[in-house]
Structure 1
Amino acid sequence: MTNIGSDERSQAIRDVAFAWAESTGNEILLLVEAGSRAHGFASPNSDHDVRVIFRQPLTRAMALLPGDETVDLKHAKLPFDPGFEVSLAGWSLRRALELGLASAPQFSAAARLTREARPHCAYFADDDFLRRIGPLAAAMAPRPAAHNLRGQLKVALKRELARPEDPKQKIYLQIAQVLLQAEWVVSNHERGWQFPLGMDELMQEVPMASLERRIIEDLLDWKRASPDSQARRRIHALDSWLATSHELLNERIAQIPDAYIAPEIAESIWLTSYGLTEPDLEMAPAP
């Protein structure tokens, strides 16, 4: 077991997460950031959007109805600094492995955050869990990963930018990040799907027109410096760029060779995480 980050805030975030785990009888395997802090464009007063992967007790995990397999704890106050809040969201081990089999980037990106040098990217990791999921992360396929990102982009465009009211400026950064991740996968699928996690590094590797690049860079400067992250503004140039790029993605993704992840990879992780082997799960013959 490894705590990541020895500062007071990191410890406070662990305290919030482990208090939830104790109250629910779950065991935390991974605790990382999932929002702007994870990707290097947090504002001075950004909250902490924390992602957790947890292991349920064996009897609950093996039940026909295993109970809550997600967590969504909103706006827990950090006790030492009431200006910051923590939102805790994530998945059970079963759900996380299902995401891995589907090549969902959220799954392996969460584990990769433990290696990022930026502060407040990760808070806790079970070393055995990180070692076990390595083969599944390596087997994840670029084409379904790109489809997943395109789906995220479609939902965000409809939910955030199709409304008549002006969107929050920071929403443009979040949507642009998903687009650039998808563009990176499409252009670099021979290298795999593991796009840079930091927004600055991602922009360095994905070609962009000068106008959109300048607007995004200005938004990044504003977001990192301004405590007013709720400011609203419609940016028509970005609306057009995001919508057009989204429409072009489907045809480009179709050109990526398809791939298949053997479910035995995830099954092995599942069994060993609970100290089980195949015979342990064999059913008695029917009478």
Structure 2
Amino acid sequence: MKTRILTALKALEAREGMEILFACESGSRAWGFASPDSDFDVRFVYRRPVSHYLSLGKRSDTLTEPIVDELDFAGWDLDKTLTLLRASNPSLLEWLRSPILYRADEVWLGATRQLMADSWQPRALYYHYLSMAKGNAKVNGRGGLSVKGALYVLRPLLCARWLLRFDSLPPLDFTALYQGLGLGAAITGQLESLLAFKRQALEQDQLVLSAELAAFMARELNALESCKPPLRDKAPMASFDAFFMKTLALDH
């Protein structure tokens, strides 16, 4: 599969006339709970020629490919990436920490990760995750609940809880996330069972959530509503502009 992904990325570069700086796996495979029929969610950051960024015309800053078989490709242009990095976009922060890398300019990735470490905003990230959990709970509350739906509520919920407790970026691996929070034997056991079921079930298999786990989710959603993690000053735009120009080789 990796060979197919690398070949597709190279073809995309040739077709679009751009350079991929970084490509990784996102979603359930990066979080450690892929199902047998889970897609490969390939996410990437790309750089176009300098002239592209000097145009006065409107231009796209996103590339997406139709899903073929189980391959799902989507990427962001460099300028969009750095704008979202400054805003602590949770998807991007997870891409940059993905355990599954397909391609990377190691120098660029190292510098971007350092910029992330120096600038991420706990409160912004907290509200992103809490909003995800609430939105997914609302969507998945209609009709039957799939195992995927349950985990798409629980994971951002626990990420928000992690931010409050530790003031650090939450682990991507779901097992490390809930074990690190020390949720108690009963809830931990429920989560382990849910995770085991997800890994062998199909994406939309229905799930009867235990009353105990459902009550835990409701309590956490309610409790987190009134919490606020630390507020930090936003990183100066100048540091992101400088890195943008350096990546485009315009700093000399």
Instruction: Report the TM-score when normalising by structure 2.
Output: 0.90
Contact 1:135/1:265 (<8 A) preserved: no
1:196 to 155, 163, 171: 171
Q: Deviations over 1:54-104 (max 9, x none)?
A: 112222223234522112223223xxxxxxx11012311111111111122
Partner of 2:225: 250
Q: Name the counterpart of 2:28.
A: 36
Return 60-69 or 27-36, whichever deviates more.
Answer: 60-69
Please tell me whether the aligned partners of residues 143 and 259 of structure 1 are also in contact (alpha carbons under 8 angstroms). Answer: no
1:136 aligns with 2:115: yes
Distance 1:111 1:245 in 2: 27
Q: Aligned residue for 1:183?
A: 161
Specify the alignment match of 2:195 in structure 1: 220
Conservation of the 8 A alpha-carbon contact between 1:16 and 1:76: no
Percent identity of equivalent pairs: 27
Distance 1:176 1:91 in 2: 27
Does the 8 Å CA contact 2:20/2:45 hold for their aligned counterparts?
yes
Whole-Å Cα distance in 2 between the matches of residues 156 and 174 of structure 1?
Answer: 6
Q: Contact 2:133 / 2:152 at 8 angstroms: preserved in 1?
A: no
Alignment match of 1:269 (pick from 243, 247, 250): 243
Question: Cα–Cα, structure 1 residues 58 and 256, in superposed 2: closer, same or farther, change >3 Å?
Answer: same
Alignment of 1:43-122 (within 5 A): 43-77=35-69, 85-113=70-98, 116=99, 121-122=100-101
| Residue 153 (structure 1) aligned with residue 133 (structure 2) | yes
Question: Deviation at 1:211?
Answer: 4.1
Distance in 1 (CA, whole Å) between partners of 2:203 and 2:94 is 25
Gap regions ≥5 residues in structure 2: none
Rounded Cα–Cα distance in structure 2 between residues aligned with 1:260 and 1:251: 23
SS of the aligned residue for 1:213 comes to helix
Give the match for residue 171 of structure 1. 149
Shift of 1:209: 4.8
Distance 1:33 1:19 in 2: 18
**SS of the counterpart of 2:41?**
strand
Contact 1:55 1:92 (C-alpha < 8 Å) held by counterparts: yes
Contact 2:121/2:231 (<8 A) preserved: no
Deviations 1:179-201 (A, max 9, x none): 11111111011xxx322111111
Secondary structure of 1:74's partner? coil
Q: Please tell me whether the aligned partners of residues 179 and 188 of structure 2 are also in contact (alpha carbons under 8 angstroms).
A: no
Instruction: Report if aligned partners of 1:169, 1:233 keep a CA contact under 8 Å in 2.
Output: yes
Normalization by structure 1: what TM-score? 0.80
Question: Structure 2 vs 1, CA of residues 247 and 64 (structure 1 numbering), >3 Å: closer, same or farther?
Answer: farther
Aligned CA RMSD, in angstroms, stands at: 2.1
